[in-house]
């Protein structure tokens, strides 16, 4: 992924209080904007004294979190519709249609759309954000893939829905597995290894590379182009939030994808 120079947004999002301008840390999926006409990436921890936590259950004051959301969403000119979920580690996906405003859904772990100017969002901190787009940039999806979603086949669900609903062939789908926990940082139980199709060899500890499993699933499904970020949220805790490295105390990043309007 390539780093986007932090954006400085005018006089801040709350001019009435004279609040300082806010930098939005964004790391974009390389080339997708030019090649596919799609904006895709993830927010980072940022350099501010207060980290750029966008978590819906953040321990920080709700006003500060909402200020960050406002600054973040203001960085997508021309977009009119923003979709976010309370995620449940399942495999249900929601198709987002045209509309205005910021919408919070419940019970989904990803979305898909073919409507330009519609931004799809998932929150992550170690779980893998999976970005999907057709090669002509006509349709996109983003998934929140922890081990349960990976084991449950959320990638296959997404690919099948893109083929069925957007009339693309599966080999015309491009996939990128974004910033998340790497195989060296993700120690799991034998039941998790087995659920994700890994043979348990020898005594514990066992480590699982979720992005490697996703890439293998993508090859089996027939997805045409597969790439994987080398950035690890648990290795690089100065740039990213990590649920595991923080023992559950960290904030959340937001992964986003949308067809440019």
Specify the pairing of strand 94-95 against strand 110-113: parallel
Burial class (CB in 10 A: 0-12, 13-18, 19+), 45: buried
Considering only CA atoms, give the Rg of the chain.
18
Verify binding: residue 208, Zn ion, rule CB under 5 A: no
| 173 versus 232: smaller Cβ distance to Zn ion | 232
Stretch that binds Zn ion, among 58-66, 133-141, 149-157, 180-188 (CB under 5 A): 180-188
Verify binding: residue 232, Zn ion, rule CB under 5 A: yes
* Least distance (Å) between residue 155 CB and Zn ion: 21
The DSSP bridge partners found for residue 227 are 176
Verify binding: residue 177, Zn ion, rule CB under 5 A: no
Verify binding: residue 185, Zn ion, rule CB under 5 A: yes
CA distance 136 to 145: 24
* Least distance (Å) between residue 179 CB and Zn ion: 10
Verify binding: residue 27, Zn ion, rule CB under 5 A: no
Interacting positions 42-71 with Zn ion (CB under 5 A): none
Among residues 254, 261, 211, 260, the alpha carbon closest in space to that of 41 is found at: 254
Burial of 19-29, coded b for 16+ CB within 10 Å and e otherwise, reads eeebbbbbbbb
Verify binding: residue 235, Zn ion, rule CB under 5 A: yes
| 95 versus 235: smaller Cβ distance to Zn ion | 235
Residues contacting Zn ion: total by CB under 5 A: 5
Verify binding: residue 212, Zn ion, rule CB under 5 A: no
Contact 105, 83 (CB under 8 A): yes
Stretch that binds Zn ion, among 67-75, 83-91, 155-163, 175-183 (CB under 5 A): 175-183
* Least distance (Å) between residue 126 CB and Zn ion: 9
Q: Which of 120, 162, 215, 234 binds Zn ion (CB under 5 A)?
A: 234
Stretch that binds Zn ion, among 98-106, 182-190, 199-207, 246-254 (CB under 5 A): 182-190
Q: Which of 142, 182, 226, 257 binds Zn ion (CB under 5 A)?
A: 182
- Please give the residue ranges that form the binding site for Zn ion (CB under 5 A): 182, 185, 232, 234-235
């Amino acid at each position: 992924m390539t780093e986007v120079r932090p954006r400085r947004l005018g006089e801040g999002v709350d001019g009435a209080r004279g609040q300082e301008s806010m930098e939005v840390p964004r790391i974009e999926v390389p080339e997708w904007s030019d090649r596919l006409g799609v904006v895709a990436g993830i927010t980072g921890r940022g350099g501010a004294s207060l980290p750029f936590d966008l978590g819906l259950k953040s321990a920080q004051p709700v006003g500060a979190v909402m200020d960050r959301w406002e600054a973040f969403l203001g960085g997508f000119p021309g977009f009119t519709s923003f979709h976010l979920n309370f995620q449940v580690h399942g495999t249900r996906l929601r198709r987002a249609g045209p509309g205005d405003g910021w919408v919070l859904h419940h019970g989904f772990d990803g979305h898909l759309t073919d409507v330009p100017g519609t931004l799809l969002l998932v929150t992550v901190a170690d779980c893998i954000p999976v970005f999907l787009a057709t090669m002509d940039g006509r349709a996109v999806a983003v998934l929140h893939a922890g081990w349960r979603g990976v084991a449950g086949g959320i990638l296959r669900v997404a690919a099948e829905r893109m083929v069925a609903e957007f009339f693309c062939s599966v080999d015309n789908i491009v996939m990128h597995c974004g910033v998340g926990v790497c195989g060296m940082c993700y120690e799991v139980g034998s039941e998790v290894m087995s659920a994700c199709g890994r043979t348990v060899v020898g005594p514990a500890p066992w480590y699982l590379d979720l992005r490697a499993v996703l890439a293998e699933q993508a090859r089996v499904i027939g997805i045409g182009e597969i790439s994987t970020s080398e950035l690890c949220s648990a290795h690089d805790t100065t740039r990213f939030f990590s649920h595991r490295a923080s023992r559950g105390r960290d904030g959340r990043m937001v992964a986003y994808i949308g067809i440019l309007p």
